[in-house]
């Protein structure tokens, strides 16, 4: 199942040129800032992804507040990207901003704990059902530390991930299948060179229990690192019963199960884990958990905590190098975490977010149906993904085959020119607690206008 383009390449190119010209006219300040940045920053941006919005240059931002972003030219956008989840509870949530402002004058980092950490640990325990927690700076780091722990406890070298996953810049997890359905090792298919993949990783498709069983039977895999719903290759929902099978196979083969909730926290206050009764050995999550202040956390079972202390030398986790970091768990970070969990990432906020996302997904599905487009919408709590295939993908390969890059770039630019931002690289949209029905309907109308034009150009438009 691959994407079905409903207009010709040339039609799409013409539309793209029209929108690119419109973008350039609206954003001279961003263009000038980009020119200056190019003199000192590689490709004009401080971080590679910031240059990957499919525009000739990125928007330079003046201000972001709640669900609005203002660029340096004074254009305002309703934000459904939300820093690719980092700002899922809105930009600078007031309680987090106030707490951080207070703490910043009371010591930022001391290499000693604050009492806020006790509250945070208790809160995470009650949300996710795992009794012990540690704090890192980013979700990437949290995943790396947990992988290291799993290898130490099992004495096994490999990890297992799902094809087309993303869990941060973790060598072992930056793998995918080539066109022959095997681990991509040849340079023309290997988009992440420089990693000794075969030695470190087993890769299977999501929702394929037989492949999982076969891969884990070797008993050389320390852990499975999984998003409960794949969210970085488009979106892939688990088939009924898949998580139970995953848990059973991990238990049977002595493999640890890590559930990465960094994106799927959109499912509720305790993520997909609590919402669907999963029983992982570890949970990792980051991005929005402290309102966008760089913080991540990982939790684990009591049995694991005992094993850690028995396996890592007489001082437990504080003994080895490479787990933890100077700034991890600093006073400012913990304070931001506490304020965000207590006041922003609440049950009430999630109820609003999920209701909003359903309104958005319903609206998008109605437009797709109205224009009879071969597209679909996948939902995961407060997020939804529009995919350029007629039915929901069941694995990473299928989801990736729906990636029509020129169409992704065009539709995003069409929306941006109408004051609407969605996540770059794919069609992921997040609804924060403060998004009003009008905000959501604005996005739906933006997509509807885009779909209508495509439909007319394609000649499919019969009655509209």
Ligand X SMILES: Cc1ncc(COP(=O)(O)O)c(C=O)c1O
Please report how close the Cβ of residue 232 comes to ligand X at its closest, in angstroms: 5
At residue 100, what are phi and psi to the nearest 5 degrees?
A: -65, -40
Phi and psi based region of residue 24 (left: phi greater than 0; alpha: psi -120 to 50; beta: remaining): alpha
Among 232, 328, 335, 394, contact with ligand X (rule: CB under 6 A): 232
Size of residue set near ligand X by CB under 6 A: 13
CB 89 within 8 A of CB 344: yes
Asked whether the CA dihedral 396, 399, 402, 403 is positive or negative, the reply is: negative
Minimum Å distance from CB 295 to ligand X? 10
Cα(170)–Cα(26) distance, integer angstroms: 38
Q: Could you identify the residue written with the tokens 């004009």?
A: 44
Q: Map residues 360-399 to x or -, x wherever contact with ligand X holds by CB under 6 A.
A: ----------------------------------------
Binding residue for ligand X (CB under 6 A) from 34, 53, 166, 425? 166
Of 42-50, 132-140, 202-210, 306-314, which part binds ligand X (CB under 6 A)? 132-140
Q: Does 426 bind ligand X (CB under 6 A)?
A: no
How many Å from the N-terminal Cα to the C-terminal Cα in the chain? 28
Which residues, numbered 35-64, are part of the site for ligand X (CB under 6 A)?
none
List, in sequence order, the alpha helices (H) in 232-286. Answer: 242-253, 271-275
Q: Are 263 and 269 in contact (CB under 8 A)?
A: no
15 versus 88: smaller Cβ distance to ligand X: 88
Candidate segments 26-34, 137-145, 334-342, 395-403, binder of ligand X by CB under 6 A: 137-145
**Residue 17 or 169 with smaller CB distance to ligand X:** 169
| Among positions 27, 30, 134, 140, the unique one binding ligand X when judged by CB under 6 A | 140
Chain-centroid distance, C-alpha 108: 28
Question: What residues numbered 167-206 form the site for ligand X, per CB under 6 A?
Answer: 167-168
- The reply to whether 139 sits near ligand X by the rule CB under 6 A is yes
Rule CB under 6 A: say whether 260 interacts with ligand X: yes
Nearest partner of 15 among 449, 402, 403, 399, judged by Cα: 449
CA distance 208 to 213: 9
Looking at the Cβ atoms of 1 and 45, the one nearer to ligand X is 45
CB closer to ligand X out of 30 and 231: 231
Q: Which is nearer to ligand X, 103 or 143 (CB)?
A: 143
Stretch that binds ligand X, among 18-26, 133-141, 404-412, 424-432 (CB under 6 A): 133-141
Q: Which stretch in 101-109, 164-172, 370-378, 453-461 sits in contact with ligand X by CB under 6 A?
A: 164-172
- Does 404 contact ligand X by CB under 6 A? no
Q: Which is nearer to ligand X, 287 or 426 (CB)?
A: 287
Alpha helices in 139-266 (DSSP H): 139-154, 197-200, 209-216, 242-253
CA 121 vs CA 129, 158, 267, 273: distances in Å: 11, 30, 20, 17
- Residues paired with residue 64 on neighbouring β-strands, in sequence order: 69
Encoded one letter per residue, x for contact with ligand X by CB under 6 A and - for no contact, window 285-304 reads -xx-----------------
335 in contact with ligand X (CB under 6 A): no
CB of 442 to ligand X, least distance (A): 26
Token pair for residue 405? 């890059």
164 part of the interface to ligand X, by CB under 6 A: no
227 binds ligand X (CB under 6 A): yes
φ, ψ of residue 133 in degrees (nearest 5) = -135, 150
With binding defined as CB under 6 A, does residue 256 bind ligand X?
Answer: no
Whether 408 and 59 have beta carbons less than 8 Å apart is answered as no
Contact 338, 362 (CB under 8 A): no
- Residue 330 lies near ligand X (rule: CB under 6 A): no
Coil, strand, or helix at residue 421? strand
- Which tokens belong to 113? 């704990």
* Binding residues for ligand X (CB under 6 A): 138-140, 166-168, 227, 232, 260, 262-263, 286-287
């Amino acid at each position: 199942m691959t994407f079905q383009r409903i207009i010709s390449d040339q039609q799409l190119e013409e539309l793209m040129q029209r929108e690119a010209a419109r973008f350039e006219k609206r954003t001279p300040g961003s263009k000038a800032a980009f020119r200056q940045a190019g003199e000192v920053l590689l490709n004009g941006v401080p971080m590679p992804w910031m240059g990957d919005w499919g525009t000739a240059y990125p928007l330079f931002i003046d201000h972001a507040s709640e669900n609005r972003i203002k660029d340096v030219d004074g254009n305002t956008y309703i934000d459904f990207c939300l820093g690719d989840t980092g700002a899922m509870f809105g930009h600078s949530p007031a309680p987090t901003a106030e707490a951080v402002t207070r703490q910043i004058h009371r010591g930022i980092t001391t290499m000693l704990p604050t009492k806020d950490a006790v509250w945070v640990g208790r809160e995470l325990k009650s949300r996710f059902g795992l009794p012990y927690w540690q704090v890192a700076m980013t979700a990437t780091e949290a995943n790396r530390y947990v992988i290291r722990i799993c290898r130490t406890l099992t004495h096994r070298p490999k990890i297992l991930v799902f094809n087309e996953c993303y869990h941060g810049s973790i060598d072992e997890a930056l793998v995918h299948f080539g066109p022959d359905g095997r681990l991509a090792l040849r340079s023309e298919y290997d988009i992440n060179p420089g990693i000794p993949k075969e030695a470190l990783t087993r890769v299977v498709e999501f929702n394929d229990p037989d492949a999982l069983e076969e891969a884990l039977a070797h008993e050389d895999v320390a852990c499975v690192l999984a998003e409960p719903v794949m969210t970085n290759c488009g979106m892939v929902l688990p088939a009924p019963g898949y998580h139970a099978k995953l848990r059973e196979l991990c238990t049977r083969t002595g493999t640890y199960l890590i559930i990465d909730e960094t994106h799927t926290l959109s499912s509720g206050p305790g993520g997909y884990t609590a919402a669907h009764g999963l029983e992982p050995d570890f949970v990792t999550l980051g991005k929005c958990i402290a309102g966008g202040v760089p913080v991540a956390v990982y939790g684990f079972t009591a049995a694991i905590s005992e094993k850690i202390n028995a396996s890592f030398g007489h001082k437990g986790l504080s003994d080895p190098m490479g787990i933890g970091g100077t700034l991890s768990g600093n006073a400012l970070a913990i304070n931001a975490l506490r304020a965000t969990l207590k006041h922003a990432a609440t049950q009430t906020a999630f109820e609003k977010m999920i209701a909003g996302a359903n309104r958005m997904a319903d609206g998008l599905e109605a437009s797709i149906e109205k224009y009879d487009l071969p597209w679909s919408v996948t939902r995961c709590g407060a997020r939804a993904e529009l995919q350029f295939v007629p039915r929901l993908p069941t694995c990473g390969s299928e989801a990736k085959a729906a990636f029509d890059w020129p169409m992704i770039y065009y539709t995003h630019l069409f929306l941006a020119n109408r004051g609407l931002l969605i996540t770059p690289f794919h069609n992921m949209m997040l609804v924060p607690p403060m998004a009003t029905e009008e905000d959501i309907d604005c996005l739906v109308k933006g997509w509807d206008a885009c779909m209508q034009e495509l439909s007319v150009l394609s000649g499919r438009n019969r009655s509209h």
